[in-house]
Amino acid sequence: MKRWFLGSVAAAVVLIAAAHGAVAADMPTSAVSPADAMNIARKNACMGCHAVDRKLVGPSFQQIAEKYKGDAKALARLETKVRDGGSGVWGMLPMPSHRSMDSGDITKVVGWILAGSPSK
């Protein structure tokens, strides 16, 4: 009986650790330095409507990170939102599309935003 119990506990620990690793792997991380992400955001006019820590025309980057915290599909959703634009999530004022923005730059900026827009 002890052996069965210990085996069950060990299996549970392995499953929990594997699940945690899968969830952590799905969480966005920023593969770009904060300075580079900010430069990309400035170059593509993101800062005209967004700020890191306060609402301007659109939500702050920190508000966006908080809203999508724990959402494994957030990176893909927000990449699409940046590229195609849209409205309704943060109000009726539409976000313009950024179809001319490099897709790699979109991924870098969105990853940085979802990582909490760190400054360092």
Per residue in 40-53, pLDDT (tens digit) is: 999 999 999 999 99
Please give the domain boundaries of the chain with CATH numbers for all domains.
Answer: 28-114 (1.10.760.10)
Query: Known binder of ligand: residue 46?
Result: yes
CA terminus-to-terminus distance, the chain: 53
Taking the model in full, what pTM does it have?
A: 0.74
CA-based torsion, 77, 83, 86, 88: positive or negative: positive
Would you give per-residue pLDDT tens digits along the chain (120 residues)?
Answer: 555 444 444 444 444 444 444 343 444 555 789 999 999 999 999 999 999 999 999 999 999 999 999 999 999 999 999 999 999 999 999 999 999 999 999 999 999 999 999 998
What is the Cα Rg of the chain in Å?
19
Query: Known binder of ligand: residue 1?
Result: no
Query: Known binder of ligand: residue 98?
Result: no
